[in-house]
Amino acid sequence: MIRATLISLLVLLTAACIADRDAVVVYSSVDQVFSEPILTRFEEVSGIEVRAVYDVEAAKTTGLVTRLIAERDNPQADVFWNGEFAQTVRLAEEGVLASYRPANAEAVPPAYRDPDGAWTGFGGRGRVLLVNTDLVADAAMPRSIHDLADPARPGDRIGIAYPLFGTTATHAAALYAHWGPEAARDYFASLAESGVRVVDGNSVVRDMVVDGRLDVGLTDTDDACTAVENGAPVRIVIPDQGRGEIGTLIIPNTVALIAGGPNPDPGKRLIDFLLSEAVAAAMIESGWSHVVLGSSETTPACLEGVAIRGMDVPLADVVAHMEAARTDMTEIFVR
C-alpha cells in the first residue's frame, strides 16, 4: 500500500516536471488581440504550453517592468515581449535579463539588438510624414523632417504630437542621440517658432491631415496606414531616405529571456519563433507591425514596394538621451 502510494506520488511529480518543462511563461505588453494569436500558434507548432500575462492598459508597459524588477530574486517569467524598447533597455541595465542570441538574430541590424544579447528587436512601427494630397502638390512634397521647419511652409499647417510622451518623445530622444543635444534642441525650437501645431497624439495628427486642417503631419505607420486603407486623400512619405540622410526612427518590438526564469529552454524556443519570418508576416497582416527588421520581405499594402531605412543609432543611446530631451521639450512646448 505504501509502495503503491509512493509510486503514485512519483508519477505525479514526474508529470509536474514534464508540464513545467513543456511550458513557458511570457509577460507581454503587446495588446492581447495582437499577441495572443501568435502565442497560440506557437503552442500549436511546438507543443509547449504558453502561460501569458498581459499588461493592463492603464499601466502600459510600466506595470510588467515593475513586476519583473520586483521578481528579480525569484523570477516567475521566462520571456518578456515588449511593444517598444525603452523599458527593455532599462531591464537589461537592472540585470533582469539573460544573454541569449536567437537563431535568426544576425538578420536583425545591429542597432536593433543588444550587443551582449540581452534583448533582440523585431517587427515594429516607423515614423513617417502623412501629407494631404488635395492640399500639397507633388512638387511640394516634403522629403525630410527638416522640411517641417522650412520657413516657406506655414507652421500652422504642420502638426506633431506633444514630444513629451509616446513615440514623438522617443523620436526626439533619437534625434538628441544622433545629432547631439544642441542641434536637436535647435531643431525643435525652430519648429515651435514656426507655429507648428502641437496636438494630443499621433492619431489626432492623422485625423487633422485627413480632414484638411493640416497639410502635413508627423506620425507613426499604424496611424498613417489606417488613413490610406480608409481611402483618405493622403500620401505616406518616409522621411530622410536619401543618400547621406539620417533615415527615420523605427520603434521595434523587443523580446528578451529572463535571467533565472523557471523554463529557459522553452523560453528560447519562443524567442526564436517570434523572430521567424512567419511571425513577421502575421504581425503585419494583423496591423500591429509595419516594418520588418529581419530577413522577411513582407510589407503591408499601405507601404507596398517601399523600403524603410532606419536611423543608425543604438537604441540604448536613445534611452540615455530621453530625460534630457524631455526636459528641453517641456521648456520649448509647454507654456
- Is the domain of 233 the same as that of 136? yes
- For position 47, what pLDDT does the model report? 96
Residue 280 in domain: yes
Pairing of strands 158-161, 197-199: parallel
- Is the domain of 292 the same as that of 143? no
Residue 309 in domain: no
CA distance 103 to 271: 9
Q: What is the DSSP secondary-structure string of 118-161?
A: S-EEEEEEEEEEEEETTTS-GGG---SGGGGG-TTS-GGGEEEE
Q: Which pLDDT band holds residue 220 (cuts at 50, 70, 90)?
A: very high
- Is the domain of 108 the same as that of 204? no
Residue 311 in domain: no
Q: Is 213 helix (H, G, I), strand (E, B) or coil?
A: coil
pLDDT exceeds cutoff 80 at 179: yes
- Is the domain of 162 the same as that of 274? no
CATH number of the domain at 58, please: 3.40.190.10
- Is the domain of 114 the same as that of 170? no
CA distance 112 to 90: 15
Residue 314 in domain: no
CA distance 51 to 71: 17
Q: What are 73's three cell numbers? A: 530574486
- For position 37, what pLDDT does the model report? 97
- Is the domain of 181 the same as that of 227? yes
Beta bridge partners of 159: 197, 217
CA atoms within 13 A on the CB side of 53: 15
Q: What are 264's three cell numbers? A: 529557459
Closest CA to 292 of 271, 310, 265: 310
CA distance 207 to 301: 20
Burial class (CB in 10 A: 0-12, 13-18, 19+), 224: buried
Q: What are residue 35's phi and psi, to 5 degrees?
A: -80, -35
- Is the domain of 112 the same as that of 158? no
Please give the tally of structural domains in the chain.
2
- Is the domain of 54 the same as that of 109? yes
Q: How far apart are the first and last CA of the chain?
A: 80
Residue 11 in domain: yes
- For position 9, what pLDDT does the model report? 40
- Is the domain of 117 the same as that of 264? yes
- Is the domain of 187 the same as that of 326? yes
Each residue's pLDDT tens digit, 39-95: 999 999 999 999 999 986 555 567 899 999 999 999 999 999 999 999 999 999 999
For the segment 292-320, the average pLDDT, to the nearest whole number, is 83
CA angle 324, 244, 325 (to 5 degrees): 5
Residue 312 in domain: no
Q: What are 81's three cell numbers? A: 515581449
Mean per-residue pLDDT over the chain, rounded? 90
Q: Is 276 helix (H, G, I), strand (E, B) or coil?
A: coil
- Is the domain of 182 the same as that of 284? no
Lowest-pLDDT range, 51-55, 59-63, 143-147, 318-322? 59-63
Q: Do 122 and 108 meet the contact criterion of CB atoms below 8 Å apart? A: yes
- Is the domain of 111 the same as that of 165? no
Residue 188 in domain: yes
Q: Do 202 and 125 meet the contact criterion of CB atoms below 8 Å apart? A: no
Q: Which pLDDT band holds residue 101 (cuts at 50, 70, 90)?
A: very high
Q: State the residue range of the domain holding 64.
A: 2-124+250-303
Instruction: Give the amino acid at 127.
Output: R
CA distance 281 to 284: 5
- For position 178, what pLDDT does the model report? 97
